[in-house]
Amino acid sequence: MAERRIPVAAPALVGREREYVLDCIDSTWISSSGKYLTRFESEFAEFCGVRHAISCCNGTVAVHLALLAQGVGPGDEVIVPTLTYVATANPVVYCGAQPVFVDAESRTWNMDPERVAEAITPRTRGIVVVHLYGHPVDMDPILQLAEAHGLWVIEDAAEAHGATYRGRITGSMGSLATFSFYGNKVITTGEGGMVVCDDDELAAAVRQLHGQGQAPDRRYWFPMVGFNYRMTNIEAAIGLAQLERIDWHLSRRREIVGWYREELAGEEGIELSPEEPWAQSAFWMVCAVLDEQRFGRRDDVMAGLDEAGIETRPFFYPLHTLPMYSAANEAKVFPVAEDLARRGVNLPSSATLTRDEVAYVCERVRGLAR
Ligand SMILES: *Cc1c(COP(=O)(O)O)cnc(C)c1O
């Protein structure tokens, strides 16, 4: 076993996180109100170029709140990609509705717009797109399709803070968008999430639902069954400090992917994180899709890297293969997502990685080729 361990994704607390957290403690503002919440929300809204941002306790409930604000309920269908984290689809089920899965396309690995068209039925209410691993979705075809069918589009931007699509920033293109600030995301609050939108009514609905359903103008009056999905001031303090340095986080990630490209240049059988000419990825995770002729089984490569002290993780299992979703999807085929999921691995991706560490990882990867 090697002595050095390189984690797959560690947070980088390089700004005023400590100072702001200590201020929460010194001032006793540690619960779900306080100046850091107000500032984090307004500065995050500004960052996304939208009018409203509502903080919440994680990215999963952010998706739930967005779906509830759009009125999703029993009998509805919501289109989601099959190649994503499980938290994109589960909130559809929390609403009593059914996720309808769509295959990936092979260039960006995001949901294939052509397959979306085929998945629309009279029960379809909307589409949740996911900017997978930080790469923005090709939004225009999906937005056009949605408009033609009277559907809404929610962006699950949990992995793509600050990514842009044809100059438009993620979070500004759907009717609502959701973010996660889990410890391994582009920026973190420990656990945390955000719902952003431009529409006043949708924003008001999200805010009410996330605060137990309390009426905005009458304290302790609850006209609906709401949720306690609030973020704490301490989490927001960390989030604000992270957001103040987001340009650093994004440029570090871009630089690190560049190092991987240089170190693995000319190495056959590895497809690294894509970036289309019309996109600026947030490069949440460094991705490598391995050719099986050259590298053999992905899991064996991961085991080899683990022995060298390098932590990796497999691509997401396509959601239609998970036990709770497989029965409803038995007759369907999702060849692109299944192929990517079988061969894809996430390499160390922390913003704090050094050039030497990246060189070491790449040397070990090369050494595992046949
Ligand atoms: C991380 C993630 C979420 C959920 O966020 P949590 O904060 O972990 O609840 C949702 N969707 C996607 C695509 C994610 O990557």
Ligand 1 in reach of 193 Cβ (< 6 A): yes
Ligand 1 site-directed mutation target among 92, 130, 132, 159, most atoms within 8 Å of CB: 159
For residue 132, the ligand 1 atom closest to its alpha carbon is 13
Cβ proximity of 62 and 178 under 8 Å: yes
180 in contact with ligand 1, CB cutoff 6 A: yes
The finding on whether 87 has its CB within 6 A of some atom of ligand 1 is: yes
Q: Is the CB of 60 under 6 A from ligand 1?
A: yes
Q: Are 154 and 182 in contact (CB under 8 A)?
A: no
| pLDDT by position in tens, the chain (length 370) | 557 899 999 999 999 999 999 999 999 999 999 999 999 999 999 999 999 999 999 999 999 999 999 999 999 999 999 999 999 999 999 999 999 999 999 999 999 999 999 999 999 999 999 999 999 999 999 999 999 999 999 999 999 999 999 999 999 999 999 999 999 999 999 999 999 999 999 999 999 999 999 999 999 999 999 999 999 999 999 999 999 999 999 999 999 999 999 999 989 999 999 999 999 999 999 999 999 999 999 999 999 999 999 999 999 999 999 999 999 999 999 999 999 999 999 999 999 999 999 999 999 999 999 8
Orientation of helix 59-69 relative to helix 200-210, angle to 10°: 130
Tokens standing for residue 328: 């409803």
Neighbours of 224 (CB within 10 A): 11
Note if the pTM is more than 0.95: yes
Supply the pLDDT for residue 221. 97
Q: Is 277 exposed, middle or buried (0-12, 13-18, 19+ CB in 10 A)?
A: exposed
Q: pLDDT (tens digit, 9 = 90+) per residue, 244-274?
A: 999 999 999 999 999 999 999 989 999 999 9
Q: What single-letter DSSP state applies at residue 3?
A: S
Edge to edge, the sheet with strand 168-169 lists: 168-169, 164-165, 279-280
**Residues constituting the chain:** 370
* Tens-place pLDDT, residues 6-54: 999 999 999 999 999 999 999 999 999 999 999 999 999 999 999 999 9
d(CA 273, ligand 1 centre) in Å: 19
Give the residue, by CA position, lying nearest to ligand 1 atom 5.
59
Query: Looking at residue 2, what is its pLDDT?
Result: 55
Residue nearest to atom 6 of ligand 1 (CA): 59
In the numeric block, which tokens belong to residue 100? 């309808």
Tell me which of 84, 131, 137, 156 to substitute to probe ligand 1's pocket, judged by most ligand atoms within 8 Å of the beta carbon.
Answer: 156
Say what the pLDDT of residue 41 is: 98
- Closest atom of ligand 1 to 192 CA is 7
User: What local confidence, expressed as pLDDT, does residue 4 receive?
Assistant: 81
Residue 105 identity: E
Task: Name, in order, each residue with C-beta under 8 angstroms of 98's C-beta and a sequence gap of 6 or more.
Answer: 76, 77, 78, 92, 123, 328
Q: Supply the residue whose CA is at minimum distance from atom 2 of ligand 1.
A: 158
Ligand 1, residue 88: give the atom nearest the CA. 11
Q: Is the CB of 158 under 6 A from ligand 1?
A: yes
- Ligand 1 lined by 346 (C-beta under 6 Å): no
Tell me if 76 CB under 6 Å of ligand 1: no
Distance 180 CA to ligand 1 centre (A): 5
Residue 2 CA to residue 358 CA, distance in Å, equals 16
Q: Does the CB atom of residue 84 touch ligand 1 within 6 A?
A: yes
